[in-house]
Amino acid sequence: MKENQYFVTVNNKRFHYIWLRDNCLSEESRHPSSFAKLYDFSEEKEIPKPNSVKLTDEELIIDWDEDPPHRSIFPIEWLMTYAYDRHQNDHNGKHKEAQSRYPEELLWNKALLENYLSEWENFGSGVSQGWKDRLFRFGFSLIHDLTPQEHQDFLASIGPMLHTEAGSFYDIEYKSGANDLADTCHHLDPHTDYTNRDYPHLLTCFYMVKNESIGGESILVDGFRVARDFGEKYPHYFRLLAQTPIQFRQFYQDWQYFYTRSRSIFKLHDSGDLVAITFAHFHANNWNLPFEQMEEFYQAYATFFNYLKNPDYQYCFRMEKGDCLLMNNNRILHGRKSFDLSSGSRLLRVGYLLWDHITGRDNFQQYKDLYMSK
Ligand SMILES: [Fe+2]
């Protein structure tokens, strides 16, 4: 252990005293059951100073120069988990943002995905352990043979549903005078959902209640794979689609809502990494772009759209009754082929969960020992 006026070093990691005092684990500084921070460093006149610092094999113990006296005890395991003093190559897996700890994304096209499909068939029916792993790696997970009740119970075990205009679930089926193109027999090009709303990152959940019609095969596209290939071949177009917000709109007659939102098709992290795709051609209209940009933007948009429509990137399959399909709405675009209504009915139940419920549950399992006594 090394000390100076401002920090202490434990296992070659430096910790500022202000950081340690701010993150004190005592009941006076952090509420014991909600774990909410109670200590407010902005009320201190000076940077917290220790009277004594002691390091054992298990703990760092600091008695602070305060009135009344205050002691902080930090388990070494806790300190190493949250250590922030690291070099660029010194990865601290647990303290990274949640997303980066999950199985690495495997960016797929049709040929690559087909290598995994036979492996998936061995998973059989019902909810198996691997569903979440596949969701992170491939952006979607397909589960077979759930009853409607099993489907509801499964989603409820993940988190509360985000309500649609129709309630917890929206039933997609042919409706006369449809308010949504999905409620027709039309072909639907690959798209992400809720392009026209200011919603957070969603998990899209499909459940096939019945599928007796001819046609209507589902189409999935890995938007991250398409974006990578598109960006390598057309870097200028990629930049244009990342930097130009366009309008996505939806006019609902029956519910009397007109949703409109401006968003670029590619959302990039500060690092330049792609984090989300927003795309639904049937909602992309009446763009309000500068006159000089319009023609070039159309070229970039059409080039990208043709990538999405290229069968080499599309996984097409028939969803059967009882199938449950979960998709990362920031990555996977979904669509369907047209179907023949006279051949039988088709009812697809759609619901949405917050992606935070996926990552939050996973984080809970991983971190709970740092908060709750074993
Ligand atoms: Fe959709």
Q: Could you tell me the distance, in angstroms and rounded to a whole number, from the CA of residue 318 to the centre of ligand 1?
A: 16
CA of 21 to the centre of ligand 1 (A): 49
Phi and psi for 7 in degrees, rounded to 5? -150, 165
CA of 217 to the centre of ligand 1 (A): 14
- How much distance in Å is there from the Cα of 174 to the middle of ligand 1? 15
Q: How far does the centroid of ligand 1 lie from the alpha carbon of residue 335, in Å?
A: 7
Distance 191 CA to ligand 1 centre (A): 6
CA of residue 326 to ligand 1 center, whole Å: 12
Q: Please write the tens of the pLDDT for every residue from 263-308.
A: 999 999 998 999 999 999 999 999 999 999 999 999 999 999 999 9
Ligand 1 geometric centre to CA of 18 (Å): 49
CA of 150 to the centre of ligand 1 (A): 23
The reported pLDDT for the residue numbered 94 is: 53
- What domains can you pick out in the chain, each with its CATH number? 2-93 (3.30.2020.30), 110-362 (3.60.130.10)
Can you give the pLDDT at residue 98?
43
Q: How is 235-257 classified by DSSP, letter by letter?
A: HHHHHHHHH--EEEEEEETTTTE
Give the angle subtended at the CA of 224 by the CAs of 219 and 225, to the nearest 5°.
75
Residue 90 is predicted with a pLDDT of: 58
pLDDT of residue 88: 56
Give me the DSSP letters along 9-72. EETTEEEEHHHHHHT--STTTB-TTT--B---GGG-SS---EEEEEE-SSEEEEEES-SS-EEE
CA 362 to ligand 1 center in whole angstroms = 26
Distance from Cα 296 to the centre of ligand 1, integer Å: 28
- Do β-strands 170-172 and 314-317 pair in parallel, antiparallel, or remain unpaired? unpaired
- Positions in the chain short of pLDDT 70: 87-101, 121-124, 374
Instruction: State yes or no: cis peptide before 190, omega within 30 of 0.
Output: no
d(CA 230, CA 213): 35
Encoded tokens for 266: 């590619």
pLDDT at residue 30 in the model? 93
Distance 250 CA to ligand 1 centre (A): 13
pLDDT in tens, 63-79: 999 999 999 999 999 99
Distance 190 CA to ligand 1 centre (A): 8
CA 192–ligand 1 middle distance (angstroms): 6
Question: How distant, in Å, are the alpha carbons of 110, 149, 156 from that of 231?
Answer: 19, 43, 38
